[in-house]
Structure 1
Amino acid sequence: MNEKQHCYYSSRELRGRDPYPNCHCHHCNKERKRIHEGNENSTSNTNTFNPTFNPIFNPSITINISPGYTPTPIGVETVQYITLAEEGKNVYTNKDALKQYGSSDILDPDNVSTLNLFVNGVLQPPSIYNVKEGILHLESSDLPPKDAPITLLFVTVKR
């Protein structure tokens, strides 16, 4: 019991003080600064926790590249080709698209910024499929089960 009391009182004595005054590592310097700022901002001598917000990144800062010029925001357009898997089928075309769900045609990969294939909601690695305008070819021997949703997402960054 004395050991527990000693640890409690020892930690209480050190609270708000520098426990390692001879150490100058990054962590101890940062902790020293935090304790010092906390003591300056304190209005009373109680051990209350006063969190402060010190953001590293401030999104409200605008940096102009040249005086009088503010860059316009970049836009992004997304389009998706949607179909359902068929048993043993590994080539899908624009004719297989589910237009009732807002599916587009299969776009030319050279005209989009990036594309992603999702089978049954799971992102697939680019090594298992090949895309050409109007054609999606699944190159994996492990084909999706019947009626599994296939979504080919096209993302185009507008400049």
Structure 2
Amino acid sequence: MPLNEKQYSYYNSCRKLRGRDSYPKCHCHHCNKESKRIYEGNKNSTSNTNTFNPIFNPSITINISPEYTPPPIGVETVQYLALAEEGKKVYTNEDALKQYGSSDILDPDNVSTLNLFVNGVLQPPSIYSVEEGILHLESSDLPPKDAPITLLFVTVKG
């Protein structure tokens, strides 16, 4: 739609005074159109819309009965330490490294669980067996000489 002379001169002077930017309090066609474009562009833009509305409602329920206090649970760990010898499959309490605080090989029936580590790697129970005082390595793949052998005993008390 063409501008009349008065509108054109107002529009032109607005542009000269303010460059191409619209002036918020100006009511010329250019400024109105520009402010409307900016307002509606922002209103409909998804980049300016905050759609992240997290719901944070943590709740922890702890039922405590004043009449009952559970007994404390204790865990005891001891370890048997030895160094592997070439071709050796059976280790006993005599092979223990007592200078490093090694215990004897405990009876597996008197502990909660036990784990064997050879050279720092946990071994599957299928390749060893334990009796009181004796560790049997049942794998054909034996540890290298001087590899650390750690038999960890864990007993849960309570």
Q: TM-score, normalised on structure 1?
A: 0.65
What one-letter code is carried by the residue in structure 2 that aligns with 1:105? D
TM-superposition CA deviations, 1:12-34 (whole Å, max 9, x none): 14x324xxxxxxxxxxxxx7x62
Greater shift, 67-76 or 126-135, is seen at 67-76
Distance verdict in 2 for CA 1:68–1:134, change over 3 Å: same
CA distance in 1, matches of 2:76, 2:116: 16
Identity percentage of aligned residues: 76
Distance verdict in 2 for CA 1:16–1:75, change over 3 Å: same
Structure 1 spans left out of the alignment, 5+ residues: 1-5, 18-30, 38-51
Find 2:47's aligned residue among 5, 9, 12: 12
* 1:86 match: secondary structure: coil
CA RMSD in angstroms, aligned pairs only: 2.3
Residue 109 of structure 1 is matched in structure 2 by 108
Distance verdict in 2 for CA 1:79–1:94, change over 3 Å: same
Superposed structure 1 runs of 4+ greater than 2 Å apart = 61-64
Q: How many residues align?
A: 116
Residue 63 of structure 1 is matched in structure 2 by 63
Structure 2 spans left out of the alignment, 5+ residues: 1-40
